[in-house]
Structure 1
């Protein structure tokens, strides 16, 4: 290649190190995507990134009382910190949503799913540091 052996050795070393670096990066990216693509978060991750609302009692549109409690699963620790600071706003959203509903709208799994979806949408509008992944109903008592 070149007449100087030192230049040849340096070029061979640089090319070898570059190839080793590229292969390492490809392997790291491939392995990290497998972990992320494994699907649903584990139960430990859900618990670590969840906020429990206090038990709330409010009047429904049909003049009945509803006692509710939710577990709000967020996507990261900063979102968890933000949602715990916004607890009063979260409670306000829950009370307002329930105040506009009748007890018949909350009956059955479809009614509960609709309520969880509405709450998730409204809370996500409020969030700046992350987002709500899911909302789980822990208690729902209608009297």
Structure 2
């Protein structure tokens, strides 16, 4: 009987908790309360790369530019100082892609994801929020 009472008590706590979240809303408990950054925040916390032209694995070349959104002014300042490393990361990543792998939405999304992962590991004073391709040509 003791185990049954413990099980019922745990079940009751879970049901009450889930009911509270449902009726009071996610925001009352801090879930889903992340606000989207304003346009001013985006401009203030973004870094644009230079236009980068480099060879691909398929003997073609790409011309790209990125906009990188960071979570703080400190992270933006750090990434500004690391622009040569960012440029090197872009070149290294693109060197592993072929023209066919970069074709279409999926190709651009894969490029953004790879650069995001590389930059997230690079930035020590904050987080990379997103990476956007702002210029893209493959020939």
**What is aligned with 1:48?**
44
Structure 1 SS opposite 2:107: helix
Please, which of 97, 117, 140 is the counterpart of residue 136 of structure 2? 140
Q: How many residues align?
A: 112
Q: Gapped runs of 5+ residues in structure 2?
A: 1-26
* TM-score, L = length of structure 2: 0.75
| Larger Cα-atom Rg | 1
Is 1:120 matched with 2:116?
A: yes
Cα pair distance change 1:89/1:65, threshold 3 Å? same
- The aligned counterpart of 1:8 is none
1:133 is paired with a residue of what secondary structure?
Answer: strand
Per-residue CA shift, 1:12-50, capped at 9, x if unaligned? xxxxxxxxxxxxxxxxxx9xx7xx936311122111100
CA RMSD of aligned residues (A): 2.0
Alignment of 1:1-143 (within 5 A): 37=33, 39-143=35-139
Flag as ranges the 4+ runs of structure 1 deviating above 4 A.
Answer: none
